[in-house]
Structure 1
Amino acid sequence: MENEIRRATGLLVIEVVNSNPNGDPDRESDPRQRPDGRGEISPVSFKRKLRDLLEDSTSDFVKALPEKFSDHMEQYQILENRTRDLKAVQSEMGTNKSKFNEDDFLKSPFVQKYWDARVFGNTFLEKGADKGFIKTGVVQFGVGLSISPVDIIRESNTRKAPVQEGKDSGMAPLAFRVVAHGVYCMPFFVNPNYASKTGCTEDDIELLKLLIPQAYDLTRSAIRPDVRIRHAWYIEHKNILGSCPDYKLFEALTPVRKGNKEEPSTSWDDYEDRDSLPESLKNKVYSITDLVK
């Protein structure tokens, strides 16, 4: 199957305002923070937002997608689902066959059904099969890190309904844990070299590009009300080997902190924005697009 997926480098520039972009379960859901004070957003957290958006097949968002997606949602289901039946998935993969090869896998109901498995890969293993099924995905997201350290606000929430018998009101100690302000950069990579292994198609990547700008806007929560994707840069290379080093693209598109970069920022005005690549780099890539515009 011929694939027209181009190698691409992406960079999300995410502004967090009085929100918890990614709670740390090891620290009572505190916003993730490194020892140097810089905030962190895990790749798993961001991909979860994309999966949640697509999994609700009756949502207005899904209905608004181009018909080639909205009319064929049976091809864009989510594997990483809390209620997924493992045995049923193994059957869809065809791993219960005595003989199993790559062609069987690519033609299996599993590949035809699960968008996130085609795009992000999967880690299913089946005993007795010819080989294990650890498929590296075409798309990989990196860790999102804030440019400067972040201040974390921790306060208790009051509750009208009591949480203890005999009391007419209640408290949720330190339940309100948010980043006051921060600007995070999260890299991502599209590697078509693995498309033939997972069955990822050009349409799958097109859908990813439609999902990314809505990842936070359409999944807001009480503790995450204001997370803004300022830029979602998507840069296509001229060849599969990469026509420009990724790090040079990141350096050129990362906002520059004004003043003392070791002090937490208080607003977007504390940064010098980057709205394009310099000509010296633009000439080395096939195209550059901001998915949020």
Structure 2
Amino acid sequence: MIENKIDFIATVVVNNANPNGDPLAGNMPRTDSKGYGEMSDVSIKRKIRNRMQDLGHEIFVKSRDRVDDDHYSLESRYNEFFKGNKNDIEVEKEAMEKWLDVRSFGQVITFDKKSIGIRGPVSVSIAKSLEPIEITSMQITRSTNGMEPKSGKSRSADTMGTKHVAEFGTYVIYGAVNCFYAERTGFDEKDLSVIKEALRTLFINDASSARPEGSMEVRDIFWFKHSSKIGNVSSAKIKNLLEWNNDSDMKERYENYNIHLNTEKLEEYKSLGLEVEQLEGI
């Protein structure tokens, strides 16, 4: 079991990519009211789930394009595994044992006339960019016919569309692992190592037309291990450790931010038993 609370901070660099499109805004990169870029917590957990699957672990919530068991709905996957009449306690226990994402993030099970809520120990925040992002939009057309041309015409009209990308940005992901919820779901040290590896390799095998290969990269991960289950300091204080160059100059490279942890506060927290590990993404 997990005996030490964990906090983590990951920085993500975006170069001419759409890190997370907003379906209510024509799939433009998500931004807040002040123009800062956002990646939803749901999209980040989706990528972590994909990496879990790539690393050979069973997950319950699979993307349609990653289905490897012929079950294209959660209900179908549930019914295949839970055959026979089982009570809520049995379903909850076996679901957590079988699927890594369930014992990591939790799950709401509403199939077979059940209503089971599993609260997972791993929490992930909405990622935000350190500065407002510049969004570029371009019109795109299709140079081949999608349908046969109508009678008397040589070709059908090109299909028009728009593609949006964030020119450059550095996003920050915050997360934590709660020991008390881990005890309930069975999340252990091996599962924790999978989460760490998933963060390091978050954008491996994740390329698409919106995110071309190499356009998104995890640069640094700050991994904080507390000396107790409750933690040496609050997660809010851990977040405030992160500092960067926030002058008005337009940043074009990750190095321009000079991202680091506040040394004075970090030494104070270390004296309380906090351990810190800095990793690089792959």
**Which of 207, 215, 220 does residue 231 from structure 1 map onto?**
220
State yes or no: 1:7 paired with 2:1: no
Aligned residues: 264
Residue matched to 2:190: 203
Q: Distance in 2 between matches of 1:8 and 1:185?
A: 17
Is the alpha carbon distance of 1:34 and 1:220 closer, same or farther for their aligned partners in structure 2, counting shifts above 3 Å? same
Q: Distance in 1 between matches of 2:180 and 2:110?
A: 22
In structure 1, the gaps of 5 or more residues are 57-61, 63-72
Q: Distance in 2 between matches of 1:196 and 1:228?
A: 33
State yes or no: 1:250 paired with 2:236: no
Give the Å deviation of 1:12.
1.3
Where 2:240 maps in the other structure, the secondary structure is helix
Residue matched to 2:276: 288
Is the alpha carbon distance of 1:256 and 1:159 closer, same or farther for their aligned partners in structure 2, counting shifts above 3 Å? same
> Cα RMSD (Å) of the superposition?
2.6
Q: Distance in 2 between matches of 1:100 and 1:85?
A: 17
Please list, as runs of the form range in 1=range in 2, the aligned pairs for 1:108-119 lying within 5 A after superposition: 108=94, 110-119=95-104
Residue matched to 1:160: 143
Is the alpha carbon distance of 1:275 and 1:21 closer, same or farther for their aligned partners in structure 2, counting shifts above 3 Å? same
Contact 1:143/1:186, CA 8 A, preserved across alignment: yes
Q: Distance in 1 between matches of 2:84 and 2:268?
A: 49
CA deviation map 1:180-225 (0-9, x unaligned): 1111111111001111322222211111111111111331222212
Q: Distance in 1 between matches of 2:131 and 2:33?
A: 12
Contact 2:39/2:128, CA 8 A, preserved across alignment: yes
Q: Distance in 1 between matches of 2:3 and 2:253?
A: 37
Q: Distance in 2 between matches of 1:288 and 1:94?
A: 45
Give the Å deviation of 1:80.
0.5
Give the Å deviation of 1:290.
2.4
TM-score, normalising length: structure 1: 0.80
**Which of 109, 125, 131 does residue 124 from structure 1 map onto?**
109
Q: Distance in 1 between matches of 2:256 and 2:156?
A: 45
Residue matched to 2:252: 266
Structure 1 range deviating more: 81-90 or 178-187: 81-90
TM-score, normalising length: structure 2: 0.83
CA deviation map 1:126-180 (0-9, x unaligned): 5766xx3111111010100111111110001243323463438845431x21001
Letter in 1 for 2:100: W
Q: Distance in 1 between matches of 2:137 and 2:260?
A: 32
Please list, as runs of the form range in 1=range in 2, the aligned pairs for 1:15-164 lying within 5 A after superposition: 15-56=13-54, 62=55, 73=56, 76-81=57-62, 82=64, 83-86=72-75, 88-89=77-78, 92=81, 96-97=85-86, 99-101=87-89, 104-105=90-91, 107-108=93-94, 110-125=95-110, 132-163=115-146
Give the Å deviation of 1:94.
7.7
Letter in 2 for 1:118: R
Q: Distance in 1 between matches of 2:116 and 2:189?
A: 23
Give the Å deviation of 1:107.
4.7
Where 1:222 maps in the other structure, the secondary structure is coil
Percent of aligned pairs with the same residue? 23
Give the Å deviation of 1:92.
4.0
Is the alpha carbon distance of 1:227 and 1:128 closer, same or farther for their aligned partners in structure 2, counting shifts above 3 Å? closer
Q: Distance in 2 between matches of 1:232 and 1:169?
A: 48
Q: Distance in 1 between matches of 2:91 and 2:262?
A: 41
CA deviation map 1:221-250 (0-9, x unaligned): 222121121212210111111101222222
Q: Distance in 2 between matches of 1:159 and 1:106?
A: 49
In structure 2, the gaps of 5 or more residues are 65-71
Contact 2:176/2:235, CA 8 A, preserved across alignment: no
Residue matched to 1:59: none
State yes or no: 1:173 paired with 2:161: yes
Structure 1 range deviating more: 9-18 or 282-291: 282-291
Is the alpha carbon distance of 1:207 and 1:14 closer, same or farther for their aligned partners in structure 2, counting shifts above 3 Å? same
